Chains A and B, each alone.
Chain A
Amino acid sequence: MFAYILRRLLYTIPVIWGVVTVVFILMAVVPGDPARIMMGQRGDPETLERIRSDLGLDLPIHRQYLRFMQEIIKGDLGTSYRTNQEVSEALIERFPATFKLAFWAMIFASVTGVAAGMLSAVKQYSLFDYSAMFIAIAGVSAPVFWVGLILLFIFAYTLNIVPGVGYGDGQLIYLLLPVITLGVRPAALIARLTRSCMLEVLNQDYIRTARAKGLAEKTVIIKHAFKNALIPVVTIIGTQLSALLSGAVLTETIFAWPGIGRLAVEALVARDFPMIRGTVIFMALIFLVANLVVDLSYGFIDPRVRYS
């Protein structure tokens, strides 16, 4: 297993290199000069050249690339053109807020999604099943910004029972609405997937055998059916978590949440190349690590899975 993890970690190197290179090329070909944006609408050509030179943007593209790769190898993500802040420092500063939001959103999504999906499968074609699946379809279809605004208007501005926007001093109450907003869509996806996987498993012969043996229905559902239906569910939880960890731009914008998503968008608008590259590398790493964790978790869920 150790060899497997090591091999997977080694695979991340070419993937990161590929991502970094693609982003570098994209930034190089997309029009829009960061030095020009820094200067504002008006600027004299001489100062513009000095700024470009200070940023290394006057170098030939291959030298810019080599310089950039050398810095990456040294673990230096560079300095933001826009704010002069170290990119790694900016990411570290924003990550706790993003992590907190993503983590709790996935807890919310997993608990509600799995519970709703299981109950729907067990009580197939019941009122609960129809209601839960209707809500799930609505949850998948509803745009995040709409959900966020509706929740804010009801709970923060009409009922006045939760704070509206911001991070506060990190109190959990500030998390409530952003977590629900962000968690609704993954919850709906998980509910639908759990239901279909459970239905498939519940029709298997070994479930009939378990019931025939006289096992309690609870044991059949949880121990025999759910455990076998879990692999696709875990996969989707993993991919959703990694997507949320790399920043939830709309939720962060609506709730004025100081996370990585907003950082990335502001960097894109300002053509802040180092910050864009930093956030992309960070997101790629998150995806790779999350996928690795998901793959490793299969072994714990299904003993037939072996790592070699």
Chain B
Amino acid sequence: MRRRNLWIIALLVSLAFLGLSSVGMAADSATYGGTLRWREINDPPKGDPAMATDTVSSRMILCIFDTLVENDPDGKGLIPGLAESWEGNEDGTIFTFHLRKGVRFQKEHMGQPTENKGRVVKAGDWKYSFERLVHVTSPRAYFLDMIKGYQDFVDGKATEWSGIKVIDDYTLQFELEYPFAPFVSVLAYNSFMAVPREDAEKWGKDFNFHPIGTGPFVLDKWEHDQKVVLKKNPDYWRQDAEGNSLPYLDYVEIMVIPDNTIAYQEFKKGNIDAFPDFPDEFYTEARSEFGELLQERPWVGTYYYGFNNSKPPFKDNKELRQAFNYAVNRELISELVIEGRYPAGKGVLPPGMPGYNPDLEGYSFDPVKAKALMAAAGYPNGIEVELQVNNNPRHRAVAEAIQAQLMDLGIKLNLKILDWGVHLDMCERAETQMFRMGWVVDYMDPDNFLYVLLHSDNHGAKGNYSFYENKEVDTLLAKARVETDWNKRMALYREAEQMIVEDAPWVFLFHYSTSLLAQDWVKNIHLPAMGDYYTALYNVWIAK
């Protein structure tokens, strides 16, 4: 009898637990409705994906449009977007995409019906969208210059982009001029979105203020320098794991608050739900006050000081370049100046990027070695060098800290602080001795870092601002571009990176981090590796 009672009690306790967990599950289950208020520092300058090059515009664009393929939020490869599947031929020159059926363009925009009337997206729309990049002189069209017929189409010698072929309504094919292994990754870039012809032609250049796509939200209101209101797209193609329609949210409001101090106060007051790119000045306080609500993870990006490798004193003086690398205490600077938020950089590729080599030795702080290398480089008594930095409080603080550190080795660093535009101009003309620069991923492939930033084909504006040139590295990087075997490619990149680190064309400083502070009532919001502005909002819900 007593034993039977025990069983009954055990059963009741188990049921109670089950009951509790189902309550817990109910509390965690998604709910429809609500508005997410997302803070941005300025008004998005561009609503047209073809024209956008900044992160604020990208935030809005990623809510309104879709790409063929998407980056996995954790940076582990690609996931299907509007293409359900894809395949490449053996030599990596032909890529065929099978499109998702039933995806519709948005039928409403700013409270008015759109010209496309919510029709289905077909392969022809993709061909139009890619050709439009050239028609509107997209600053990012050249990312696709490997597609056959690009140059003829740009030069007006052809009426269509011959390498983009519509096989049938739901099959799109790209033929490349040469094998280019990272091609599919490039298509995940946020300029390459499906655009409805009818609406793009109706609005012309004003499509910039009337963006219409296939994404989870439609543009409802755009009050410049105040807010952008995005409304739920009832025809959005994506569903949650249970087959429920998405998005959960009724609205997303991108609120423009230029001042960080005020934005943080507004967050604390509960007037903002999501605060991306959280500033250093409140980091410690927010970390202790909000704990895990402040998400932070490595961003796929690298922060460096480039040497001008085309002019003395750094040209042909590897010892001098290495000495600078050994003379900087990266961990200390990160700790003192940026709250330890940026991990020290060992090489070019950041953590999270395929091909990243965690065992790369790099340069650790070693003043004795630095001193010896200075002497070997012909500067036993030190050197005076100009460091050019673009005007930004964080960059300035880092530069001042490094300036103080290098002084111990007799290196006098003269800081030159310039506006971004002027800074870029001077860097691309090789009119600097040393300069600050950073690079954050466009597409998840080492090619986007190593080839773009360090191949001699890209000297100047194309990305290689340090004017670095090493024939062996060039050969390895060129070989990696056409290699279709993934493992072999990664091996080539690692070999190239090792040689670059040895050559020290930069002071490898830090890798970036990305951050997002969200209120506890914002559920299922996950900071992706590609940066805060890539945060998916279609599966976020509000529970309050």
B256 at the A/B interface (Cβ < 8 Å)?
Answer: yes
Q: Give the shortest distance, in Å, between A15 (CB) and chain B (any CB).
A: 29
B225 touches A39 (CB 8 A): no
Give A256 to B266 CA distance when docked, in angstroms. Answer: 12
Given that A51-B139, A157-B265 are known contacts, is A45 also in contact with B226, CB under 8 Å in the complex?
Answer: no
A166 touches B461 (CB 8 A): no
A41 touches B139 (CB 8 A): no
Give A37 to B225 CA distance when docked, in angstroms. Answer: 20
Q: Which residue of B lies closest to A93 (CB)?
A: B224
Q: Give the shortest distance, in Å, between B475 (CB) and chain A (any CB).
A: 22
A256 touches B226 (CB 8 A): yes
| Residues in B114-141 with C-beta less than 8 Å from chain A | 137, 139, 141
Given that A43-B461, A51-B139 are known contacts, is A38 also in contact with B53, CB under 8 Å in the complex?
Answer: yes
Give A77 to B425 CA distance when docked, in angstroms. Answer: 27
Q: Which residue of B lies closest to A53 (CB)?
A: B137
Give A46 to B209 CA distance when docked, in angstroms. Answer: 27
| Residue from B209, B258, B452 in contact with A256 in the complex, judged by beta carbons closer than 8 Å | B258
Stretch at the interface among A17-25, A26-34, A136-144, A191-199: A26-34
Q: Mark A40-61, 1 if CB is under 8 A from B, else 0.
A: 1111111110110010000000
Contacts of A239 in B (CB 8 A): none
A288 at the A/B interface (Cβ < 8 Å)?
Answer: no
A149 touches B226 (CB 8 A): no
Contacts of A39 in B (CB 8 A): 53, 139, 461
Give A224 to B258 CA distance when docked, in angstroms. Answer: 49
Given that A32-B419, A45-B461 are known contacts, is A164 also in contact with B224, CB under 8 Å in the complex?
Answer: no
B46 at the A/B interface (Cβ < 8 Å)?
Answer: yes
Give A167 to B262 CA distance when docked, in angstroms. Answer: 14
Give A243 to B45 CA distance when docked, in angstroms. Answer: 27
B239 at the A/B interface (Cβ < 8 Å)?
Answer: no
Q: Give the shortest distance, in Å, between A176 (CB) and chain B (any CB).
A: 16
Contacts of A263 in B (CB 8 A): 225
Contacts of B420 in A (CB 8 A): 37, 269
Q: Mark B39-83, 1 if CB is under 8 A from A, else 0.
A: 000110110000101100000000000000000000000000000
Give A255 to B257 CA distance when docked, in angstroms. Answer: 8
Given that A82-B45, A149-B261, A262-B258 are known contacts, is A45 also in contact with B462, CB under 8 Å in the complex?
Answer: yes
Contacts of A42 in B (CB 8 A): 442, 452, 461-463
Q: Which residue of A lies closest to B209 (CB)?
A: A85
Q: Give the shortest distance, in Å, between A88 (CB) and chain B (any CB).
A: 14
Contacts of A291 in B (CB 8 A): none
A200 at the A/B interface (Cβ < 8 Å)?
Answer: no
| Residues in B264-282 with C-beta less than 8 Å from chain A | 265-266, 268-269, 271
B142 at the A/B interface (Cβ < 8 Å)?
Answer: yes
A46 touches B258 (CB 8 A): no
Given that A167-B226, A254-B262 are known contacts, is A47 also in contact with B422, CB under 8 Å in the complex?
Answer: no
A36 at the A/B interface (Cβ < 8 Å)?
Answer: yes
Q: Give the shortest distance, in Å, between A277 (CB) and chain B (any CB).
A: 17
B154 at the A/B interface (Cβ < 8 Å)?
Answer: yes
Q: Give the shortest distance, in Å, between A42 (CB) and chain B (any CB).
A: 5
A38 touches B139 (CB 8 A): yes
Q: Which residue of B lies closest to A80 (CB)?
A: B45
B338 at the A/B interface (Cβ < 8 Å)?
Answer: no
A112 at the A/B interface (Cβ < 8 Å)?
Answer: no
Contacts of A4 in B (CB 8 A): none
Give A79 to B45 CA distance when docked, in angstroms. Answer: 13
A31 touches B205 (CB 8 A): no
B426 at the A/B interface (Cβ < 8 Å)?
Answer: yes
| Residues in B315-333 with C-beta less than 8 Å from chain A | none
B142 touches A31 (CB 8 A): no
| Residues in A91-121 with C-beta less than 8 Å from chain B | 93-94
| Residues in B186-238 with C-beta less than 8 Å from chain A | 205-206, 208-209, 223-227
Contacts of B139 in A (CB 8 A): 38-40, 43, 47, 51
Contacts of B42 in A (CB 8 A): 266
Give A191 to B227 CA distance when docked, in angstroms. Answer: 38
A84 at the A/B interface (Cβ < 8 Å)?
Answer: yes
Q: Which residue of A lies closest to B138 (CB)?
A: A47
Contacts of B226 in A (CB 8 A): 166-167, 256, 258
Given that A32-B422, A152-B265 are known contacts, is A40 also in contact with B141, CB under 8 Å in the complex?
Answer: no
Q: Give the shortest distance, in Å, between B248 (CB) and chain A (any CB).
A: 26
A44 touches B259 (CB 8 A): no
| Residue from A31, A47, A83, A152 in contact with B262 in the complex, judged by beta carbons closer than 8 Å | A152
B225 touches A46 (CB 8 A): no
B421 at the A/B interface (Cβ < 8 Å)?
Answer: yes
User: Among the interface residues A40, A41, A85, A270, which one has the most CB atoms of the partner chain B within 10 A?
Assistant: A41
Q: Mark B139-175, 1 if CB is under 8 A from A, else 0.
A: 1011001000000001000000000000000000000
B290 at the A/B interface (Cβ < 8 Å)?
Answer: no
A228 at the A/B interface (Cβ < 8 Å)?
Answer: no
Contacts of A259 in B (CB 8 A): 225
Give A256 to B145 CA distance when docked, in angstroms. Answer: 41
Contacts of A266 in B (CB 8 A): 42-43
Give A90 to B209 CA distance when docked, in angstroms. Answer: 12
Contacts of A165 in B (CB 8 A): 257, 262, 266
Q: Give the shortest distance, in Å, between B32 (CB) and chain A (any CB).
A: 26
User: Among the interface residues B205, B255, B258, B261, which one has the most CB atoms of the partner chain A within 10 A?
Assistant: B258
A153 at the A/B interface (Cβ < 8 Å)?
Answer: yes
A235 at the A/B interface (Cβ < 8 Å)?
Answer: no
Interface residues, chain B, with chain A CB atoms under 8 Å away: 42-43, 45-46, 51, 53-54, 137, 139, 141-142, 145, 154, 205-206, 208-209, 223-227, 255-259, 261-262, 265-266, 268-269, 271, 419-422, 424-426, 428, 437, 439, 442, 452, 460-463
Given contacts A30-B422, A38-B139, A271-B421, 18 further A-B contacts (CB under 8 A): A31-B421, A34-B421, A36-B421, A36-B424, A43-B461, A43-B462, A48-B461, A83-B46, A84-B51, A94-B225, A149-B261, A164-B262, A164-B265, A165-B266, A166-B226, A256-B259, A256-B262, A258-B256
3 tightest Cβ-Cβ pairs between the two chains A and B: A32-B421, A258-B225, A40-B53
Pull 25 A–B residue pairs with CB atoms less than 8 Å apart, ordered by A: A31-B425, A32-B422, A36-B421, A41-B463, A42-B452, A42-B462, A45-B461, A84-B208, A85-B208, A156-B265, A157-B265, A157-B269, A160-B269, A165-B257, A165-B262, A253-B258, A255-B262, A256-B255, A258-B223, A258-B224, A258-B225, A262-B225, A266-B42, A269-B419, A270-B421
